[in-house]
């Protein structure tokens, strides 16, 4: 496993090589970062898997569009997911070698799905909450999960779809972690957990506690027992506002 972490929000692109194919998750973001990923690709068929279609996770699509793409069925319902990438590029003068193009999903995942790829068995698990198109991918033999925008060490849960569904999804992840003995986790942003199921479960419980507090109407800016950093206060307040509307 190789993790390529962008300097934009410490967004992770993950490359996993199997005997006959390789799997690339969320290739992003800047051209020089995508070039590093391309240079590391083995000469094997490429599967590009999108954890979800938030713009910071899909900017590399055009560079890897020749691969077989996999993602949640809900991705196709997104209106122009590349629009924010184009806007960001214009604002910050990001020059790309290839036009961004339109995101394409060849294999749509609608429900929990297990698929064998030679020496790897992948379990695709829809986990709505942060967004409605979020999907975690478990590599059962490797005891590894690429989780998308959940369980980061950098941020509390950001809720853009449903707090209730987010809690249900974390419970599903916890169940799979225990059932399959998963001990390595790559989140969408920040530090991966390697060889520690206990730390993964701790992150799950911390995020569950935060979300359950939101549902209970608790507005104090605490997470993991600490005040929320000033730069994330607005996002916490956004969660409060979102959950109040969801409960109504």
Predicted confidence (pLDDT) per residue in 110-164, tens digit:
999 999 998 899 999 999 999 999 999 999 999 999 999 999 999 999 999 999 9
Q: Within 13 Å, how many C-alpha atoms sit on residue 56's CB side?
A: 12
pLDDT tens track for 36-87: 999 999 999 999 999 999 999 999 999 999 999 999 999 999 999 999 999 9
C-beta separation of 107 from 68 below 8 A: yes
Q: How many helices (H) and strands (E) does the chain have?
A: 5, 13
Percentage of residues in the chain with pLDDT exceeding 70?
100
Three-state secondary structure readout of 138-160 = EECCCCEEEEECCCCCCCCCCCC
- pLDDT above 80: residue 174: yes
What is the DSSP-derived secondary structure letter of residue 136? E
Rounded-to-integer distance, Cα 76 and Cα 105, Å: 8
- Taken in order 115, 127, 59, 31, the sign of the CA dihedral is negative
Q: What average pLDDT does range 188-216 have in this prediction?
A: 96
Instruction: Give me the pLDDT at residue 232, please.
Output: 93
Residue 201, both tokens: 């479960």
Instruction: Give me the pLDDT at residue 218, please.
Output: 87
pLDDT-based confidence at residue 248 (cuts at 50, 70, 90)? confident
Nearest to 212 by CA among 177, 187, 247: 247
Distances (CA, A) of 24 to 16, 48, 83, 119, 178: 7, 5, 22, 16, 25
Q: Which of 194-197's residues contact partners 24+ apart within 8 Å by CB, and which partners? A: none
- Mean of the per-residue pLDDT values of the chain: 96
C-beta separation of 135 from 173 below 8 A: no
Percentage of residues in the chain with pLDDT exceeding 90?
91
| CATH class of the domain defined by 2-247 | alpha beta
């Amino acid at each position: 496993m190789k993790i390529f972490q962008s300097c934009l929000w410490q967004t992770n692109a993950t490359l996993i090589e199997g005997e006959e194919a390789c799997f690339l998750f969320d290739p992003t973001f800047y051209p020089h970062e995508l070039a590093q990923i391309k240079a590391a690709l083995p000469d094997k068929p490429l599967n590009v898997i999108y954890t979800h279609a938030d713009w910071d996770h899909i900017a590399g699509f055009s560079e890897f569009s020749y691969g077989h793409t996999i993602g949640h069925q809900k991705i196709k319902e997104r209106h122009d997911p590349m629009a924010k990438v184009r806007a960001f590029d214009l604002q910050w003068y990001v020059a790309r070698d290839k036009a961004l193009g339109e995101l394409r999903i060849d294999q749509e995942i609608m429900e929990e799905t297990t698929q064998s790829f030679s020496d790897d068995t992948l379990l695709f698990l829809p986990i709505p909450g942060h967004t409605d198109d979020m999907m975690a991918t478990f590599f059962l033999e490797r005891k590894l999960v690429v989780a998308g925008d959940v369980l980061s060490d950098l941020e509390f849960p950001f809720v853009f779809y449903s707090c209730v569904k987010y809690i249900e999804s974390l419970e599903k992840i916890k169940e799979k972690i225990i059932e399959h003995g998963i001990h390595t986790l790559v989140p969408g942003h920040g530090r991966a957990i390697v060889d520690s199921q206990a730390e993964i479960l701790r992150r799950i419980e911390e995020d569950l506690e935060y979300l359950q507090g939101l549902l209970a109407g608790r507005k104090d800016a605490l997470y993991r027992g600490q005040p929320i950093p000033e730069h994330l206060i607005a996002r916490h307040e956004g969660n409060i506002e979102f959950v109040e509307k969801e409960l109504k």
